[in-house]
Structure 1
Amino acid sequence: MRRVSKITAACALTAALAVTATACGQSSTEAGGSDEGKLKVGMAYDVGGRGDNSFNDSAARGLDKAKGEYKAETKELTAKSGETPADREQRLASLAEGGYNPVVGVGFAYKDAIDKVSAKYPKTTFGLIDSASEQKNVASIVFTEEQGSYLAGVAAALKSKDGKVGFIGGVDLPLIKKFAAGFRKGALDTNPKADVTVQYLSTGTDLSGFGAPDKGRAAAKGMLDKGVDVIFAAAGGSGAGAIEAVAAKPGTWAIGVDSDQAKDPALAKYSNSIMTSVVKNVDSGVFDLITSVKDGKPKTGTNSYSLAEDGVSLTTTGDHLKDIQAKLDEAKKKIVDGSIKVPTTL
C-alpha cells in the first residue's frame, strides 16, 4: 500500500489476561516478560473496547498479529462512557510511562489527549486512528470511509425491493457523517428515486451512541416499521442491536461496519441477514505502525488507507453480493480512476 507521511499516574499492571476497572478504564494485560529491548505495545481502545464486534476489534486484530509474529508484550486499556478528557490523557500516559512503544489511541476521541501526551513523551511513538495530529512523534492512521460506504449504498439500492434504505450513525460527528454521505450518494447514483433515511443515536460530545445496542435496535426497528428494508449501521457496538432487529424481520438486510460482522461469533445467528460489511482495515494500519517501530523506522505523519489500496472494502461472506458484483466492481473502478467523486458531507 502507498503511504502518505506528512498522563503521569500509572495504572497498576494486572495479572496476565486479567480484566479490571481502574481510573484508566478497563484493563487487560498479556506480559511476556520485561527483557530490555523487548517490543511492548500499548493499546487504548475507545468505548466498547475489545469485543465490540466492530471498530475496536479491527484494531485488536492488528495487535494480535504483532503478538503472534513479534512476541510483543502488550497492555490494553478501554475508555468508559462519560469519562473526561483527563481520563484519556491519563490512560495514554500510563502506557507511555510503562515503557510501551508504540502507544495507540483507537478513535478520533483520543486526538486532543494524544496531542498533549505525545509532547511529554517525545521518545515514544503514538498512533492515532481516525484523526490527524501534527505532533512529530504521532502516526495518524486515516481511511476513506466514504468510498467504502458509497459501494454499500450501491449494494443497498440494488438489493432493496422499493428503494427505501437507511443509515444509522453512532454519533453525528464528521467522521460518521463521511459514512452517511458516501452511503447516500451511492444509493442515489444507483437509484435516483431511492429514499435514504439517516439517523444518529447521540449527538455532539455524547459518545454513548457507540456503545448502546438497545438504541441501535430501537432505531433499526423504527426504520423497518416504515418500510426500510436495507440498513447500514456505522455505530460501533450499537450496530449489533441494529443487526439483531433486521434479522428479526424476514426479507430485510443489514450492512455491517469495520469488521466482517457476518464472521463474528457473537453475531453468528444473524449472519444470513448481513448482506456485507464496510471494512476499514484498521488492523493493517495498527500492524504496519507496530512493524515500523520494531524495525527502528517509526511511521509519523498522516498515513492514508484508501479504496484503491484496499484500505476500505466490502466483504463477500455468504455470497450475498454475487448477483451484483459486476456493478460494484464498476463503481469501484470509477471511484479509483476519479470518474466518481464521493462526498464526505451530506
Structure 2
Amino acid sequence: MRRSLKLAAVVLSGSLGIASLAACGAKSTDDKSSAGAGASGFKVGMAYDIGGRGDQSFNDSAARGLDKAKNELGATVNEAEAKSGESESDREQRLKSLVTSGFNPIIAVGFAYQDAVDKVAAENPNVNFAIIDSAAADQPKNVTSLTFSEEQGSYLAGVAAASKSKTNHIGFIGGVQSELIKKFEAGYTAGAKSVNSGITIDVTYLSTPPDTSGFADPGKGKQAAQGQLDKGADVIYSAAGSSGTGAIEAVSTAAGDKWAIGVDSDQAKQPALEKYKTHILTSMVKNVDTAVFTYIKSAKDGNVLTGVKNFDLKEGGVSLSVTGGYIDDLKAKLDAATQQITSGQTTVPTAP
C-alpha cells in the first residue's frame, strides 16, 4: 500500500547481491542469490519497503510474486531489505548494487523508492525497473509503474464494515498520510456511506511524510485501534503494513463483538495472525504478487511492460477475501456493488 509522495501508486522491488547488501545496510533473505530449476542468466532483483518479507502484508505479497518467478520461470533472485530511518542515498545505493551485480529487471516495492528509481534508471538505460505504488509523470522510459485501484477494493471493505457494524461506528487506520493511503480511506468511507449515510467513521494516521515509520510499528497500530475501540468503533480497517497487525491484535482481544479488516494479503491466512483469524472479517487483498509476476514474465519473454500498468477490480487487481465465511451473508450486496463499479455506474473517489 504505498505510493509516490507526489504521485500515483506503484511497487518496485529489487534484490541485492550479498556484498552489496552488507554495504548498504540491507540484508539478504538468503546467504546468496537463489535460483529456480533451470535458471540461466535471468536475474531478478527485488528491493523491499520498510517491514520487508515477513510483514504479513504488502511486502509479503510482492515476495509471493518473486517466489513464483523463481519457481516457474527459473529466475535467479536476490532480495534486499530496507532499514528503519534510511536515507535517499541508502535506497539509491541498494538499487545501484543490484545493477552492478547484474540483476535485470529490478523491482522496487513502495512509493519511497520513486526518486531513487528515477535517478538510477536514468543512469542505466539498458536495465529495466519496476516500481510498485508510484507513477511519476516524467519517469525514465525504462521504468514501469505497477499501480492498483485500492479505492475500489476499499469501497467493498466499507460496504462490509457498515453492514456488519452494530454500533454504526467504524474506524480506519492509515500507516502514512500519503496520497496512496488516502485512496484506501476515500474508498472505505464511500462504501460505508453507501450502506449507511449517517455512520460514524474515525480516521487515524500513524505518521506523515517523509516519516514512513507508520508502516512498521505494530505498537502504534495497536494503540490507534484501542483509541477507536474506546470511542465505540466495532469494525476497524487498517491500511498500515505491519502496523496493522497491532490493530488486529487490539480488535481481537477487545471485549464484545468486534471485527478487524486486513489489507494487501489475506491476513486471516498469515501464520503470525493465526490466533486472531476468528476476528478478521475480511481483507482487502491487493494482488501485488500478480503484478510482480506479470511484470517479471514480460521481461523474461522479451516484451517488458512499459509505462503505467494499473490493476483494478475488473482485472482482479483488488478483491475481498472470504476466509472464515464471515461475509458470506453479504455476497449479494457485495456482488451488486462490484458490478456497479466495474460497469462504471459507480465511480469511487480517490481522495477523502
Of 148, 154, 165 in structure 1, the residue corresponding to residue 153 of structure 2 is 148
In the alignment, is residue 179 of structure 1 matched against residue 184 of structure 2?
Answer: yes
Shift of 1:21: 5.6
**Which residue of structure 2 lines up, in the alignment, with residue 78 of structure 1?**
81
Match of 1:53 in 2: 56
> Which of 296, 310, 315 matches 1:304?
310
- TM-score w.r.t. structure 2 length? 0.91
Q: Structure 1: where are the runs of 5+ without partners?
A: 1-9, 15-19
- 1:215 aligned to 214, 220, 242, which one? 220
Q: Distance in 1 between matches of 2:207 and 2:331?
A: 34
- Provide Cα deviations, 1:246-290, integer angstroms capped at 9, x if missing partner: 000241000000000000001000001000000111001100111
Asked whether the 8 Å contact 1:32–1:73 carries over to 2, the reply is yes
- 8 Å CA contact 1:178, 1:344 repeated in 2: yes
Distance in 2, matches of 1:197 and 1:177, equals 14
2:259 is matched with: 253
Q: In 2, Cα distance between the equivalents of 1:272 and 1:32?
A: 37
1:224 aligns with 2:225: no
Shift of 1:39: 1.2
Distance 2:16 2:57 in 1: 26
Change (3 A) 1:36 1:190: closer
Query: How big is each residue's C-alpha offset from its partner over 1:176-223, in whole Å with a ceiling of 9 and x where there is no partner?
Result: 000000001111111011001111001121101000000000000111
Which residue does 2:10 correspond to in 1? Answer: none
Q: Which residue of 2 aligns with 1:168?
A: 173
Q: How does 1:1-346 map to 2 (within 5 A)?
A: 13=18, 22-29=23-30, 30-32=33-35, 37-133=40-136, 134-249=139-254, 250-346=256-352
1:219 to 1:100, Cα distance in 2 relative to 1, 3 A: same
Residue 70 of structure 1: how far off its partner (Å) = 1.6
* In 1, Cα distance between equivalents of 2:349 and 2:71: 39
Tell me the matched-pair count. 332
Q: CA deviation at 1:12?
A: 5.7
2:5 aligned residue: none
Segments of 5+ residues of structure 2 without an aligned counterpart are 1-14
Q: Which moved more, 1:173-182 or 1:290-299?
A: 290-299
Native 8 Å contact 2:170 2:235 kept in 1: yes
Q: Does structure 2 conserve the Cα–Cα contact (< 8 Å) formed by 1:24 and 1:88?
A: no
- 1:231 aligned counterpart, secondary structure: strand
In the TM superposition, what is the alpha-carbon distance from 1:31 to its structure 2 partner? Answer: 2.9
The 1:290/1:24 distance shift into structure 2, 3 A limit, reads: farther
| Structure 1 residue matching 2:284: 3-state secondary structure | strand
CA distance in 1, matches of 2:229, 2:290: 35
C-alpha displacement at 1:26, in angstroms? 2.2
Contact 2:16 2:79 (8 Å CA) reproduced: no
Is contact 1:148–1:279 with CA below 8 Å preserved after alignment?
Answer: yes
Q: Check conservation: 1:138, 1:301, Cα contact below 8 A.
A: yes
Q: Which amino acid aligns with 2:149?
A: T
Q: 1:36 to 1:98 in 2, by over 3 A?
A: farther
- Bigger CA drift: 126-135 or 149-158? 126-135
Aligned to 2:3: none
The sequence identity of aligned pairs, in percent, is 56
Kept in 1: contact 2:169–2:233 (CA 8 A)? yes
CA distance in 1, matches of 2:338, 2:70: 34
Change (3 A) 1:11 1:338: closer
The Cα shift of 1:36 comes to: 9.6
> Which residue does 1:7 correspond to in 2?
none
Task: Work out the CA distance in 2 between the residues paired with 1:234 and 1:36.
Answer: 36
Q: CA deviation at 1:340?
A: 1.0
